[in-house]
A and B are shown apart, each in its own frame.
Chain A
């Protein structure tokens, strides 16, 4: 039931310049996001995933176009990995009209319906029951697709984890729960939070396959994600995959990230940085230093262009404040609610597109 990753079917060529470029894009975009946050162009919560790029790209690349992705709130990397443009991500972080959630979601609620990325969710473990429903819909339609549900290590102590895994096991749902274990839920380490700190073992309680992988190893992560998603698609076998990784930055940009860990600990992880590992593997493969430097330059340029785009993109119209909240056709249902409504309500909701 619970095994460690067997590392077979491991192919050297899974570390490609394309994947390196996309990992780098995540790193560069998030580094820039922190800078823009400090310039007060980005607000709210802003959770960075620097250090987690390998498992992020591996998970996204193991998905087929029709598979469904759902994640927690540390969502920039997954959005980019799934193919959302840096412009749409940065515009969303800036709260602009052509952000991927039209300026309504921000950092935690990125999505892309076309690419079947159904959100960025902000309540720890809230996306887990939803993932079972997404998988149930796939089953009802007889499609051989799977759901990948990302969660953090902090989510496994929520009741929703228990309920969702029980449903997934009971109903044989095609869903892979990917625990991105970056060692801390905010500032509380896994050891201080979980009575069973080997998180993948907890799948056994639901007779679900559990497995652990080095999430900073791109090849191993890709192979494991592909294998478990295949089982979900073909045999409707759910799984829990625990990917061991580390985040260099604090829980969010407001957290210096040093109250609960040492600089030495961070430095130790940075020495084995997944980007450095991928870069070294590419050099081993014979990719030239020039080519890698060009990739690195392009990633920075791409992020600069995204910032320029977001700055130029208009803010959403206040006259559209209530658009989208209710389905088209709902305006008629709400029409008779006007008499006696609170001050400003007519303008701010009815006049601003309620049910339009």
Chain B
């Protein structure tokens, strides 16, 4: 099953399980979803459960917040993460505040799911990873599945969670295939990382599409150099499973943190800070970081490829962390 199909299955199962669940967003119904995640759901569940919206992110994200406050379980699709910025006020200054600001008397069980990811020459305004903008905010939960199984398991956990959860999907993984548990009660718990590959020489910490890149590089390092990298798939950015990361670094003594977005003030910055604190005595080398080059992403394929944390750059960063090439 593909990642896309796994997401769809999660939506179908939860729509069937709980009347309070409904899907809302641009083109989710008649159009079958801009990226076809919701294909067929309108026919199956009707226009109240699968609700097309105008291009109006601040409006319908806010509508999701309000519906959630009265106990609905809205799953709001944002066509890509780039468009969530126009609804940032509703996410950061409304949804995230409800629990604390109202003294725990109101909850907001809202899910926002949205793909992101660069690499298709979509250029500066459509190729960004704002993961850390949202993972920065107390009151939100942010998950980022890297496999079809977790796409299903984390989306289902998010829908059943009583807090606002942002589910970051990735365009380039939509067609990736993998084993997906068919048990409708199989959930991937929020706040639990996964050891995606065992290794002894180096820990690569990643989430979302960077996990796919890291696994490919890890295989290459093993094949060509006999180096065994351990790959940690964070799965969840807030809460962040530092126990799994720290246990891995304690074993390998070296850490490379990778993200698709800009690293300055990014997810890897947060990881590096926590790893150096948690693993100070374990580290044999400085914590290394890799992300997108700090420019608005250009159109030219050659420039785009060079700017992304591609596998060649990731391999060099791994070797630098191992002090086999200059940093």
Q: Which residues of A contact B (CB under 8 A)?
A: 68, 70, 99-105, 109, 111, 113, 118-119, 121, 123, 126, 128-138, 140, 159-160, 163-164, 166-167, 170, 322-330, 332-342, 349
**Nearest CB on A from B196, distance (A):** 17
Give chain A residues whose Cβ lies under 8 Å from the Cβ of B192: 336
Number of residues from B at the complex interface, CB < 8 A? 62
Q: Complex: how many Å from CA A4 to CA B17?
A: 48
Given A137-B71, A332-B191, A340-B277, A129-B100 contact (CB < 8 Å): no
Interface centre among A68, A334, A335 (most CB of B within 10 A): A334
Give chain A residues whose Cβ lies under 8 Å from the Cβ of B193: 336
Give chain B residues whose Cβ lies under 8 Å from the Cβ of A332: 191
Question: Which of B67, B102, B190, B275 interacts with A340 by CB under 8 Å?
Answer: B275
**B72 contacts chain A at the CB level, 8 A cutoff:** yes
Q: Is the CB of A338 within 8 A of B67?
A: no
Listed A/B pairs (28) with beta-carbon separation below 8 Å: A99-B103, A101-B102, A105-B102, A111-B102, A129-B90, A130-B65, A130-B69, A133-B67, A133-B74, A136-B72, A137-B66, A160-B59, A164-B59, A166-B54, A167-B54, A167-B59, A167-B60, A170-B54, A324-B103, A324-B104, A327-B109, A327-B161, A333-B141, A333-B239, A335-B191, A336-B239, A340-B242, A340-B278
Give chain A residues whose Cβ lies under 8 Å from the Cβ of B65: 129-130, 133
**Nearest CB on A from B3, distance (A):** 23
**B106 contacts chain A at the CB level, 8 A cutoff:** yes
Q: Which residues of B contact A (CB under 8 A)?
A: 22, 48, 53-54, 56, 58-72, 74, 89-90, 93-94, 99-107, 109, 138-139, 141, 161-163, 189-193, 236, 239-246, 273-279
Closest chain B residue to A356, Cβ basis? B104
**Nearest CB on B from A228, distance (A):** 19
Beyond the given A130-B90, A337-B239, A341-B277, please list 16 additional residue pairs across the A-B interface where CB-CB is below 8 A. A123-B94, A126-B93, A129-B59, A129-B61, A131-B66, A133-B62, A133-B69, A133-B70, A138-B70, A140-B67, A140-B72, A163-B62, A324-B105, A332-B191, A339-B243, A339-B245
**Nearest CB on A from B123, distance (A):** 25
Q: Is the CB of A134 within 8 A of B100?
A: no
Q: Complex: how many Å from CA A99 to CA B102?
A: 10
Q: Complex: how many Å from CA A121 to CA B62?
A: 13
**Nearest CB on A from B298, distance (A):** 30
Q: Is the CB of A111 within 8 A of B105?
A: yes
Q: Is the CB of B58 within 8 A of A160?
A: yes
What 4 A-B pairs come out closest when comparing CB atoms? A129-B62, A133-B66, A324-B104, A163-B59
Q: Complex: how many Å from CA A99 to CA B245?
A: 42
Q: Is the CB of A137 within 8 A of B70?
A: yes
**Nearest CB on A from B193, distance (A):** 8
Q: Is the CB of A132 within 8 A of B102?
A: no
